[in-house]
Amino acid sequence: MASATATFWTTAFRRTNFPKLEYLIQRLKDAGVPCRLNGESAHAPILEVPEECADTAWDLLSEKFGDLTLDDAEDDHPHFTKFGSVRP
């Protein structure tokens, strides 16, 4: 019988709103990183990833498009509009 191992989740993003958050969720999925929304901070939904994937999640914020990094881009930047403008 296989032994189940527990997944320890850690906060990846807690100050990012939709549609940028939806973009980040899709990028994590594309990278094979599981993620989940788990409540809300005072600012935005809380997105969690498994502890062992936290570095990959943070690396996404340094990706560049144009003159900006994802971290620098506003949550409603036109780059993210195809992901919707409000929380699904």
pLDDT tens figures, 17-42: 999 999 999 999 999 999 999 999 99
> Residue 85: is its pLDDT beyond 60?
no
Q: What is the DSSP letter of 76?
A: T
**List of residues 6+ apart from 74 with CB closer than 8 A:** 20
pLDDT of residue 45: 95
**pLDDT tens digits along 36-84:** 999 999 989 999 999 999 999 999 888 887 899 999 999 988 888 776 6
What pLDDT score was predicted for residue 88? Answer: 46
Q: Indicate the pTM of the whole model.
A: 0.85
